[in-house]
Amino acid sequence: MAAESGNRPHVLAVPLPAQGHVKPLMSLCRQIAKRGIKVTFVNAHSIHHKLLSASPQQQDDSDHNIVMETVPDGLTPEDDPNSPFTLLVTLTKTMPQTLTDLIQRINTSNPNEKVTCLIADLSFSWIFDIADKMGAEPVGFAPHSVACLALLLHTPKLLEQGNLNINGSLQNGDVISLSKDIPSWRKDELPWCFSGDPKMEKVLFEAVKGYKEASKAKWWLCNTCHELEPAATELLPNVLPIGPLNLLDSNNVNSTNFFSEDSSCLRWLDSKPDGSVVYVSFGSLAVFSQQQLDELALGLELSGRAFLWVVRPDLANGSQVVYPPGFGTGLGEIVEWAPQNRVLSHPSIGCFVSHCGWISTMEGVSNGLRFQCWPYFADQLHNVRYICDKWGIGLKIDFDEVGIRSRYEIKNKIDMLFSDNKFKENALKMKEMCAKSVADGGKSCNNLKKLIYHIDRR
């Protein structure tokens, strides 16, 4: 035990180098570090430089217990350093050795602070073999829903039973169902689905087939709470829901973003009535055609409501963003990147137009917001089923006959969300549920205490 031996417990954390994976794992690490436990957070070189350039160089007390380390990307000059999928492939080839070398260096340099626990993203579950060899406790981190984790861990069995073929397509039936109380997955909602890009779907499914070592994790930590996903949580006996993590990390100045935040929008929000603003953000990866961006811009203005829209420089599929003629009536505010958790907790926000990535879903749900759902790929496609079908707090925007989400569909769904009070009532219930879970004595709070107690006693 750490307290009796004089050794200090030491967690080494390894995220997948993507915004939606790095941010929640860092939030968790701050909670661990607050208890005096040392944390080494390992990033790929290119991601580390993004974080340094985008985040303010300030620290709170927990950050003094966190050390940032980097490992080589393994990228060639032809590789895209901004693609987490490319990094997933290259790091899987190079990181087994570089991570082993890093842990050996840490353990040799200070024998009283050897790595005692290794928390790895599900995408890097092969790291658990390294943890075993190094005498560290293997713990998994899943930045998506427990339901998605359950399906991914169940995938080898689905392949074995013939429910999926070697390409990840459904063989038997039109859906996969793990429980009557969990929304089923349709064939175009599986976690490796990437509409219009079969090559990327193959990359994602190959990664999923590589999750062979996932069963070695002592626990799986998920950024959710039991109350939001009771049926899924009961499927996995070693899952610890410890979220929503944004409620635990809301005051931290270091937001772990890949983009520089524009906080000026908060002053603009201060001038708006409570519950009146539509917030629009599609995360760090989604891209759109110029035609679709035009329809979105005109749909927001057609709604007649104030809106705050996050428009990344690369949102127009890598081209320069051009706004349609007639756009710009003074209803909206546009920024390249927003301090999202602070925006979503602002009283003026009434609706969230979102790609429904899990971290955005948790931030919106825990702040009691209604959703207009605009999923892009992967787990986002199934998260919509929770938001719309299970929790009753959102509406999905449908495509028209030519594959575009029209300005009229966007406007009509916004109107429906604001006019039907059941969405707001359900959203406030979800908010209260999340708050109780992370509060002292709540299930997420107790799970986090259980984790930290175990780490501290190693």
At 48-98, the pLDDT tens digits run 776 766 555 555 555 789 999 999 988 888 877 777 788 888 888 899 999
Cα separation, 263 vs 255, in Å, equals 12
Other CB atoms within a 10 A radius of the CB of residue 348 amount to: 19
pLDDT score, position 246: 95
Helix (H) or strand (E) holding 162: none
Amino acid making up residue 155: T
- pLDDT > 80? residue 446: yes
pLDDT score, position 373: 98
If one looks up domain 264-435 in CATH, what number appears? 3.40.50.2000
Residues 150 and 43 sit within 8 Å (Cβ to Cβ): no
Tokens, residue 338: 């927003």
**In angstroms, what is the C-alpha Rg of the chain?**
22
The fraction of the chain above a pLDDT of 90, given in percent, is 71
The fraction of the chain above a pLDDT of 70, given in percent, is 94
Beta bridge partners of 66: 39
CA distance to 257, 336, 379, 427, per residue, from 364 (Å): 18, 19, 16, 9
pLDDT score, position 328: 82
Q: Torsion angle, CA of 226/230/234/236, rounded to 10 degrees? A: -60
Q: What angle (nearest 5°) sits at the alpha carbon of residue 441, between those of residues 436 and 447?
A: 95
CA distance to 133, 183, 338, 344, 395, per residue, from 425 (Å): 51, 21, 27, 17, 15
Using DSSP, state whether 291 is helix, strand or coil: helix
pLDDT score, position 413: 98
Handedness of CA 271, 273, 276, 281 (dihedral sign): positive
At 218-248, the pLDDT tens digits run 999 999 999 999 999 999 999 999 999 999 9
Helix (H) or strand (E) holding 452: helix 443-456
Q: Which of 51-65, 99-113, 258-272 has the lowest mean pLDDT?
A: 51-65
Check for a shared fold between 2-252+437-456 and 264-435.
yes
pTM of the predicted model, to two decimals? 0.93
pLDDT score, position 66: 92
Residues 343 and 349 sit within 8 Å (Cβ to Cβ): yes
Cα separation, 411 vs 420, in Å, equals 14
Give the phi and the psi of residue 270 in degrees, each rounded to 5: -60, -25
Cβ density class 314-324: b for 16+ within 10 Å, e for less: ebbeeeebeeb
Which residue matches tokens 């604001």?
A: 418
At 342-356, the pLDDT tens digits run 999 999 999 999 999
Tokens, residue 374: 């605009």
Average pLDDT along the chain: 91
What is the DSSP code string of 370-438? EEEE---STTHHHHHIIIIIIS--EEEPPP-TTS---HHHHHHHHHHHHH-HHHHHHHHHHHHHHHHHH
Cα separation, 139 vs 40, in Å, equals 14
Cα separation, 39 vs 67, in Å, equals 6
Residues 140 and 35 sit within 8 Å (Cβ to Cβ): no
- Pick 452 or 2 by higher pLDDT: 452
At 210-221, the pLDDT tens digits run 787 898 999 999
What is the DSSP code string of 37-96? -EEEEEEEHHHHHHHHHHS-S---GGGGGEEEEEE-----TTS-TT-HHHHHHHHHHHHH
- Pick 253 or 131 by higher pLDDT: 131
Q: What angle (nearest 5°) sits at the alpha carbon of residue 22, between those of residues 364 and 97?
A: 160
Using DSSP, state whether 341 is helix, strand or coil: helix
The band of 1, judged by pLDDT with boundaries at 50, 70 and 90, is very low
- pLDDT > 60? residue 2: no
CA distance to 142, 205, 222, 331, per residue, from 208 (Å): 13, 5, 18, 44
Residues 116 and 136 sit within 8 Å (Cβ to Cβ): yes
Other CB atoms within a 10 A radius of the CB of residue 329 amount to: 8
The architecture of the domain spanning 2-252+437-456 is 3-Layer(aba) Sandwich (3.40)
At 266-324, the pLDDT tens digits run 999 999 999 999 999 999 888 999 999 999 999 999 999 999 999 999 899 878 899 99
Amino acid making up residue 89: V
Cα separation, 236 vs 17, in Å, equals 26
- pLDDT > 70? residue 456: yes
Segments making up each domain of the chain, as ranges: 2-252+437-456, 264-435
pLDDT score, position 290: 94
At 344-403, the pLDDT tens digits run 999 999 999 999 999 999 999 999 999 999 999 999 999 999 999 999 999 999 999 999
Bridge pairing between strands 349-354 and 370-373: parallel
At 136-193, the pLDDT tens digits run 999 999 999 999 999 999 998 899 888 999 889 898 778 999 999 999 999 999 999 9
- pLDDT > 70? residue 254: no
